[in-house]
Homo-oligomer: A and B are copies of this chain.
Amino acid sequence: MHPSRWGDPARAASLPESARGLVEAVFGIDERPAATDVAVPPPALDEAVLDALRAAVGAEHVLLDDATRRLRTRGKSTPDLLRQRAGDLSDAPDAVVRPADHDQVAAVLALAVEHRLAVVPFGGGTSVTGGLVARREGYAGLVSLDLVRMKRLLAVDHTSMTATLEPGLRGPEAEALLAAEGLVLGHYPQSFEHATIGGFAATRSSGQSSAGYGRFDALVVGLRVATPRGELRLGSAPASAAGPDLRQLLLGSEGAFGVITEVTVRVRRLPAEKVYEGWAWPSFEAGAAAMRTLAQAGLLPTVLRLSDEHETAINLARPDAIGAAGASGCLMVVGHEGEPEPVAARRTAVASVLAGLGGTPLGEEPGRAWAHGRFDAPYLRDAMLDVGVLVETLETATFWSRVPQLYDAVRTALVGALGEPVLVLCHISHVYETGCSLYFTVAASGGDDALGRWQRAKAAASDAIAATGATITHHHAVGTDHKPWLPAEVGELGVAVLRAVKAELDPTGVLNPGVLV
């Protein structure tokens, strides 16, 4: 199994026959096996540095072997995957270092400053924006700071309904620890099975149930962060007017300001009931207007998603997704989680609004189909690359009044840059009173210059997003891929502020160099 592939090797697969036929009809099959048995460049660190790292975290937690370093090379963006598949392992870390706790993280950072090592904090490795591709020029070496040993539930406060988690916990691990306390975090990005608590915080992640539970940045009430200048402990109250909210400066800092070593989150009681159902809409516009009505009426369900006509049609080609009810137009998934009585009340109220606005209920089958496959799409991407088809996603958000303009601009940019045949699918998965996100999935043949083709398409889409005044990313962070568009969003002065904060917390620039700022 190629190390660039997503997730659990046992669940990786070649393209299912049903999908293969569709791909062949649209793009043609162009087998592109990944390069194998490529050697990782030898570690560049000298023994004295390695001994110091061993003294800090234990000898068995400084790993130099090829397999470990290969798996910590870059993340899961299309450029990351294509480079790795082509045998380019030039970004491999010299060592993978696994601290046990906050103090060991601090010790590694001190060594990094002393020996001028670039440090890339590593959680689930699922970045899709080049967040794990640190610059190594000018450094004595590059260390992957793997937080895999930091997996404790440090504290639970059942009265305040908060829990303090270590950053290395993957989504399901965190939920299992909380479930044993009768609690739930409720954060389910598509990367849920692999991504970690620290990564959720460092990238301002958002999940499929964030309409109900809140974005990750809204769930965080406290942070502990190790920086080369010392420790930050933030979060003295649910809300405060004691100056700017520094938590919001560390959330989204992508390992460039410090290493998040503890995250205190708001938790809820485990839901007794979960129900997901489908609704059909005559158009994307009508469905989006219904979502806006719900958000502005304070009637948001736990899950609320709407596929455009193109995405709905692709789903219709998979009979398990829509079922016999058969929908035309656009499919919406509406989910409610919680205690039976409020779930029933909210379900009735939401259904009444949706029916009144022209929605057609499709029952629970489409909702179940969505819930069943909700974490599977990334596996399909690897299988598509095997047959020469690029599949990538990008996302943005804007205010409601600009949604039609943003949708058209991004679609036009992608179709224009990639040329036919191309599939551009879109859904709305996060809604707010004032606006929503747009999440695009793109499929196109890769050809002989798949990386160049994708980079041009991504740039065209990003230019379109910036020209519309929308955000370059609603929940995938800046990384290295979005950096060129950050000044358009926060201004050169905003970027200068971020650089000033970095200079204060990481004066020698050892943390994730080149990422974010």
A161 adjacent to B296 (CB under 8 Å):
yes
B435 adjacent to A229 (CB under 8 Å):
no
In the bound complex, how far is the Cα of B469 from the Cα of A476, in angstroms? Answer: 33
Min CB gap A509→B, angstroms: 15
Q: A241 interface residue, CB < 8 Å from B? A: yes
Min CB gap A299→B, angstroms: 9
- Binary CB contact string for chain A from 463 to 482 against chain B (1 if under 8 A, 0 otherwise): 00000011111111110001
Q: Which residues of B contact A231 (CB under 8 A)?
A: 491, 493
B435 adjacent to A241 (CB under 8 Å):
no
Q: A233 interface residue, CB < 8 Å from B? A: yes
With A243-B498, A399-B157, A493-B229 in contact, do A469 and B236 touch (Cβ < 8 Å)?
A: yes
A489 adjacent to B251 (CB under 8 Å):
no
With A236-B398, A399-B162, A500-B501 in contact, do A205 and B493 touch (Cβ < 8 Å)?
A: no
Q: A490 interface residue, CB < 8 Å from B? A: yes
Q: Which residues of B contact A473 (CB under 8 A)?
A: 240-242
Listed stretches A91-99, A309-317, A426-434, A442-450; interface member = A426-434
A494 adjacent to B232 (CB under 8 Å):
yes
- Binary CB contact string for chain A from 389 to 400 against chain B (1 if under 8 A, 0 otherwise): 000000011111
Complex partner residue of A497 from B160, B206, B241, B505, CB under 8 angstroms: B505
Q: A159 interface residue, CB < 8 Å from B? A: yes
Min CB gap A399→B, angstroms: 4
Q: Which residues of B contact A233 (CB under 8 A)?
A: 491
Min CB gap A97→B, angstroms: 23
In the bound complex, how far is the Cα of B505 from the Cα of A244, in angstroms? Answer: 14
Most chain B beta carbons < 10 A, residue from A471, A477, A493, A498: A493
Q: A325 interface residue, CB < 8 Å from B? A: no
In the bound complex, how far is the Cα of B498 from the Cα of A215, in angstroms? Answer: 26
B497 adjacent to A501 (CB under 8 Å):
yes
Most chain B beta carbons < 10 A, residue from A160, A162, A397, A504: A160
Instruction: Please report which residues of chain A, range 121-163, place their CB below 8 angstroms from some CB of chain B when the two chains form the complex.
Output: 157, 159-162
A234 adjacent to B494 (CB under 8 Å):
yes
In the bound complex, how far is the Cα of B297 from the Cα of A268, in angstroms? Answer: 9
- Binary CB contact string for chain A from 50 to 88 against chain B (1 if under 8 A, 0 otherwise): 000000000000000000000000000000000000000
Q: A230 interface residue, CB < 8 Å from B? A: yes
**Chain B residue nearest to A157 in the complex (CB):** B401
In the bound complex, how far is the Cα of B292 from the Cα of A396, in angstroms? Answer: 35
B474 adjacent to A243 (CB under 8 Å):
no
Which interface class (under 10, 10 to 19, 20 to 34, 35 or more) fits A? 35 or more
Most chain B beta carbons < 10 A, residue from A437, A496, A497: A497
Q: A16 interface residue, CB < 8 Å from B? A: no
Q: A203 interface residue, CB < 8 Å from B? A: yes
Complex partner residue of A400 from B159, B432, B499, CB under 8 angstroms: B159
B242 adjacent to A435 (CB under 8 Å):
no
The 7 closest A-B pairs by CB, nearest first: A248-B248, A238-B432, A204-B241, A500-B504, A237-B397, A160-B399, A240-B471
Chain A residues with a Cβ under 8 A of chain B:
157, 159-162, 203-206, 215, 217, 221, 227, 229-234, 236-246, 248-254, 266, 268, 292, 296-298, 342, 396-402, 430, 432-437, 469-478, 482, 486, 489-491, 493-494, 496-501, 503-505, 516-517
Q: List 14 A-B contacts (CB under 8 A).
A: A157-B400, A160-B399, A232-B491, A236-B489, A237-B398, A238-B433, A239-B474, A242-B252, A242-B490, A244-B250, A244-B253, A246-B494, A249-B497, A268-B296
Known interface pairs A239-B437, A244-B249, A497-B505; 15 further A-B residue pairs with C-beta atoms within 8 A, sorted by A's residue number: A157-B401, A159-B400, A160-B400, A162-B434, A229-B496, A231-B493, A232-B494, A232-B497, A239-B474, A242-B473, A242-B490, A243-B254, A243-B490, A248-B249, A493-B505
